[in-house]
């Protein structure tokens, strides 16, 4: 009888320990699941855009963060821009779509793309010269003269400084600041 009581008590302790430990590991699993989900949504969006004849999917960059899909790049018409947004909105798991696509006529595309590459290089060089900004994790992308800043910075002032620095680079029409501020532990 005592053996059965001891076994029951040991089993209860093991089950209790497992139940206590599961929520702690579930947090790590949920973070990984969110990353996988964002990657999956990005892939699913790219496939859907490539499969639709109204949109040239290879011209569109797709970035997903917390189920918010950002579309960037150049398309031939307003109809293609709207179609890309509509296609993306219809996908399961997509919370919101940020459509930053620029309409650029095919005849002007080459000149615009060359100019965008030059602007990106100038902005990156300017950021690298700034002592505070070169330590930050800032990615720069230019689309029809609009500079997009993405990445993670330590505080709001660094984010504002990055925008301000990009604004004064020749050729920049506007700056879209998508930088996130690191959460303090």
DSSP letter for each residue of 109-172? HHHHHHHHHHHHHHHHHHHHHSTTTTTSEEEEEEETTEEEEEEEESSHHHHHHHHHHHHTSTT-
Q: Per-residue pLDDT tens for 12-58?
A: 444 444 444 444 444 444 555 555 588 889 889 988 998 888 887 77
Q: Judge if 122 and 144 occupy the same domain.
A: yes
User: Which pLDDT score is estimated for 116?
Assistant: 87
Last residue of a domain, one of 63, 80, 103: 103
Does some domain include residue 71? yes
Does some domain include residue 81? yes
d(C-alpha 77, C-alpha 83), whole Å: 10
d(C-alpha 61, C-alpha 57), whole Å: 8
Q: Per-residue pLDDT tens for 140-165?
A: 999 888 899 998 888 889 999 999 99
- Count CB atoms within 10 A of the CB of residue 21: 10
Q: Judge if 164 and 150 occupy the same domain.
A: yes
Q: Judge if 82 and 138 occupy the same domain.
A: no
Q: Which domain holds residue 97?
A: 31-103
Does some domain include residue 138? yes
Does some domain include residue 127? yes
Domain count, the chain: 2
> How is residue 174 annotated by DSSP?
E
CA-closest candidate to residue 71, choices 85, 82, 52, 51 = 85
């Amino acid at each position: 009888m005592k053996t059965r009581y001891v076994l029951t008590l040991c089993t209860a302790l093991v089950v209790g320990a497992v139940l206590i430990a599961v929520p702690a590991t579930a947090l790590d699993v949920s973070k990984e699941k969110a990353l996988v989900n964002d990657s999956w949504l990005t892939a699913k969006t790219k496939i859907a855009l490539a499969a639709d004849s109204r949109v040239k999917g290879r011209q569109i960059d797709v970035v997903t963060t917390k189920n918010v899909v950002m579309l960037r790049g150049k398309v031939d018409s307003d109809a293609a821009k709207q179609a890309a947004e509509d296609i993306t909105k219809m996908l399961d798991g997509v919370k919101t779509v940020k459509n930053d696509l620029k309409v650029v006529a095919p005849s002007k595309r080459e000149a615009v793309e060359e100019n965008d590459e030059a602007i990106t290089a100038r902005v990156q060089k300017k950021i690298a010269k700034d002592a505070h900004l070169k330590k930050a994790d800032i990615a720069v992308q230019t689309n029809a003269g609009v500079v997009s800043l993405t990445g993670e910075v330590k505080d709001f002032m660094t984010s504002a400084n990055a925008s301000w620095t990009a604004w004064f680079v020749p050729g920049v029409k506007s700056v879209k600041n998508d930088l996130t501020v690191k959460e303090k532990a």
